[in-house]
Amino acid sequence: MSQDSKPKVLIIIGDAAETVDTMYPYFRLFEGGYEPVIAAPEKRTYQMVMHQNKPGWTITKEWEGYTIEADIAFADVNPEEYLGIFFSGGRAPEYIREDEDLLRITRYFFAKDAPIASVCHGVEIPARADCVKGRRMATVPKAKFDLEVCGGIFVDEPCVIDGNLVSGRTFWDHGHYMGHWMQLLDDARTSHAS
């Protein structure tokens, strides 16, 4: 990596990725001097959604959010080119977690002990990739089962740090956990530069 190039970081999405869960890390990465790369099943436009627990509703209310362009398809990702990875929330993880290329990418970052962040339903991807055994993670309570059935440890806190893995429950937690993940990226960037 040249002095002028910005380290690349993956953001994992699909249709129905949560808008705030995706856009907040996207802009924070730019702000931190990184190149966010949106990765999805195909290189195309994706429809994001907004999720909120609405008073009187027993399930999450969903609205259409912004659209976003995927920069690269999972099949074309060489994970060695990326410093870290972020698993966005929303309904997308449930639908993309069976993608073999996404599982390959996910396992690479866990094996390498690279900076990893997850929010909300994003946990369903590393859980499906068999990467959460014994790991402490935050997620939205309705995804607690997905984490625990795969051997993970559910923690109901706005920021959970377990080594290279940082997680939050919902987009309301972004301000609590994102800075810790950015620090892991900064530390990794410094160690790569030396």
Query: Which positions are annotated as active-site residues?
Result: 121
DSSP bridge pairs for 49: 18, 64
Query: At which residue do the structure tokens 């900076």 appear?
Result: 115
In terms of DSSP bridges, do strands 45-52 and 61-69 run parallel, antiparallel, or are they unpaired? antiparallel
The Cα–Cα gap between 91 and 62 comes to 10
| Angle 82-77-180 from CA coordinates, rounded to 5° | 35
The Cα–Cα gap between 171 and 138 comes to 12
